Amino acid sequence: MRPTLFHQADLVLRGGFARDELSWRSRLAVVVVFGTFYGAVMGAYGGLDADRPWQMLYSGLKVPLLLTSAFLLSLPTFFVLNTLLGLRADFPRVARALVSTQAGLTVVLASLAPITAFAYISGISYQPAILFNALMFGTASVSAQSLLRREYRELIIRDPAHRVMLRAWLVVYVFVGVQMGWVLRPFIGDPGRPVQFFREDSWSNAYIAVLNIAWRAVAGGR
C-alpha cells in the first residue's frame, strides 16, 4: 500500500528515508507540497483583496523553488569537497541525508503556517511580518539540522572527516540560500505595491546590498 502524503511526512521526521522506506520521488513530493503550503500562507499577508491571491500563488511556488535551487547549486561544490577528503564512496548516503533534511525543513515550515496566519490576523505590519517569516524559516532550519545530524551520525562514526563536511555543507548552503532568497524576492509582497514575481533589481548581490544598507545606516547616524 502506497503511503499517504502525511505518512510520508512522518517517515521524513522519523528518518525513514535513510532506511529506504521512502523513495526520492516521495521525498521530492514532500518538499513541493509542504513548501508550497507554507509559501501560500506566507503570501497571504494583506488578505485576499484585489490581486493578492496572485502573491499567494507566487509565494507558494517560490518556497520549494528556493529550497531546491539552493540545494542543486550547492551540491556540486559539496561533491568535490567530499571527493577531496576521500569521502566519495559515502556520497550516495550523504545525498540521501541532505535530501531528507530538505524535506524535513518543509514539514516543519508547514507546521508553523498556522502561527504565521495567526500573526497576520493579529494585524502585524509589513516589516515585522518579514522578520517574523525569517524567524519561522530560522526555526525550521534549526529543526532540520537536528535531522541532518541524526542522518550523519553513522557517517561520522565511520569517518570523522564527515563532521568537517557537515559544517562545510551548512556554510555553502547558507551562502547560496541567502543569495537565492534575495533573487526570488518578494516572498510576502507589500500590499501597497503591485504584485510581481520578481523585483526589478532581483539579480543584484544580496551581500553587497546588505553592506550598502548597513553603510547608509551608519553614515546617516553620524
Q: How far is CA 222 from CA 119, 146, 209, 212, in A?
A: 36, 43, 20, 16
Can you tell me the mean pLDDT for 132-158? Answer: 92
Q: Are 129 and 191 in contact (CB under 8 A)?
A: no
pLDDT at 198: 87
Q: Is the pLDDT of residue 209 over 80?
A: no
pLDDT at 32: 95
Residue type, 85: L
Q: Are 45 and 126 in contact (CB under 8 A)?
A: yes
pLDDT at 221: 46
Q: How far is CA 218 from CA 61, 131, 206, 222, in A?
A: 36, 21, 18, 7
pLDDT at 51: 85
Q: How far is CA 61 from CA 31, 70, 155, 197, 216, in A?
A: 11, 14, 34, 10, 33
User: How much of the chain exceeds pLDDT 70, in percent?
Assistant: 91
Whether the bond between 53 and the residue before it is cis, its omega within 30 degrees of 0, is: no
Alpha-carbon span 46 to 167, nearest angstrom: 38
The mean pLDDT value of the chain amounts to 88
User: pTM of whole model > 0.85?
Assistant: yes
Q: Is the pLDDT of residue 92 over 70?
A: yes
Q: What own/partner pairs with CB < 8 Å and gap ≥ 24 does 86-93 have?
A: 86/161, 87/159, 87/161, 87/162, 87/165, 90/155, 90/158, 90/159, 90/162, 93/18, 93/155
